[in-house]
């Protein structure tokens, strides 16, 4: 029983206590000790039910605590929590507050936000009771819904930097082109076979088309690497943010293979982008 407003008394059910008061590792443990320790303490509660005729008031410390904790959330915040439920479409995670304890705030970790890889069911990645670190990706004040993400805490394989991806490429050096009359032709595109992978499909044709673009002086292949997993079966071509004195660096990817392509040109970055889009659309 909680006394408030001088002579009014409300009932605080056991189920409406702040979850932080419930022993984390023994949710079914007797609560007599917890309740006894509350006698004489001040608690923050929200009015859950009010019956003026009967003078009955039902209070919720859980609702007040979750509201206070939810107010501290912001999109982009990183929180730790416990997996409370697993469904076909995702997992519900009870978030821990700044004090490291749960206060009744739950968020949905949608199956699409579990991993950059395809997940058939959340149980492939999570287990009930597991402690996870998640990122808050959406907040809806009206519905009090919190969207969470695991994968946004990991780097998107498609957006890995050139050095991150190709820094492992020392084991797969470029295979030099065969010399013709003692001279190596720089515009001859010969790829060394990596492991059991086939050469990137369409890349030689794309490089040749780029070389013929007005304003492009040369197109040469650079480092090669194999990624740990397949990102895309189709050929993808990306322009890196690397600062190159005489042009631009591109990254071609297909399957597990990654290939660096250097374009020597005085054209602007936007003009190179237009040229890449044009030649790739022709090859497709």
Query: CB under 8 Å to 11, separation ≥6 — which residues?
Result: 1, 2, 56, 57, 58, 59
3-class DSSP string for 54-80: CCEEEEEHHHHHHHHHHHCCCCCCEEE
Are 37 and 47 a contacting pair, CB within 8 Å?
A: no
Query: CB under 8 Å to 99, separation ≥6 — which residues?
Result: 20
For residue 143, give Cα distances in angstroms to 206, 243, 272.
50, 46, 46
For residue 159, give Cα distances in angstroms to 45, 87, 203, 253.
47, 30, 20, 11
- For residue 175, what pLDDT is reported? 34
- For residue 163, what pLDDT is reported? 57
Q: To which CATH superfamily is domain 72-153 assigned?
A: Nucleic acid-binding proteins (2.40.50.140)
Does the global pTM surpass 0.75? no
Which regions of the chain are under pLDDT 50? Answer: 25, 168-197
Closest CA to 86 of 119, 121, 138, 117: 121
- Domain residue ranges in the chain: 2-64, 72-153, 157-283
- For residue 90, what pLDDT is reported? 93
Are 265 and 248 a contacting pair, CB within 8 Å?
A: yes
- For residue 100, what pLDDT is reported? 85
């Amino acid at each position: 029983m909680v006394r408030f407003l001088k002579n009014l008394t409300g009932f605080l059910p056991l189920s409406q206590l702040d979850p932080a008061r419930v022993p984390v590792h023994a949710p079914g443990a007797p609560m007599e000790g917890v309740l006894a320790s509350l006698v004489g303490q001040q608690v923050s509660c929200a009015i859950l039910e009010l019956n003026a005729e009967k003078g009955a008031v039902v209070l919720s410390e859980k609702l007040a605590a979750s509201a206070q904790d939810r107010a501290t959330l912001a999109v982009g915040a990183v929180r730790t929590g416990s997996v409370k439920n697993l469904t076909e479409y995702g997992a519900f995670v009870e978030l821990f507050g700044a004090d490291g304890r749960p206060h009744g705030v739950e968020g949905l970790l949608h199956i699409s936000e579990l991993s950059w890889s395809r997940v058939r069911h959340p149980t492939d990645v999570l287990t009930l009771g597991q402690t996870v670190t998640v990122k808050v990706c959406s907040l809806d004040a009206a519905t009090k819904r919190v969207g969470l993400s695991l994968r946004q805490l990991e780097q998107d394989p498609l957006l890995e930097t050139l050095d991150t991806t190709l820094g492992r490429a020392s084991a797969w050096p470029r295979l030099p082109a065969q010399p013709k009359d003692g001279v190596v032709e720089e515009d001859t595109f010969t790829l060394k076979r990596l492991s059991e992978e086939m050469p990137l499909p369409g890349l030689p044709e794309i490089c040749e088309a780029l070389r013929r673009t007005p304003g492009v002086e040369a197109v040469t292949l650079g480092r090669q690497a194999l990624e740990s997993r397949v990102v895309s079966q189709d050929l993808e071509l990306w322009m890196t943010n690397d600062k190159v004195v005489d042009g631009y660096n591109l990254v071609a990817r297909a399957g597990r293979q990654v290939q660096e392509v250097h374009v020597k040109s005085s054209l602007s970055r936007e003009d190179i982008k237009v040229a890449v889009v044009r030649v790739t659309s022709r090859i497709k």
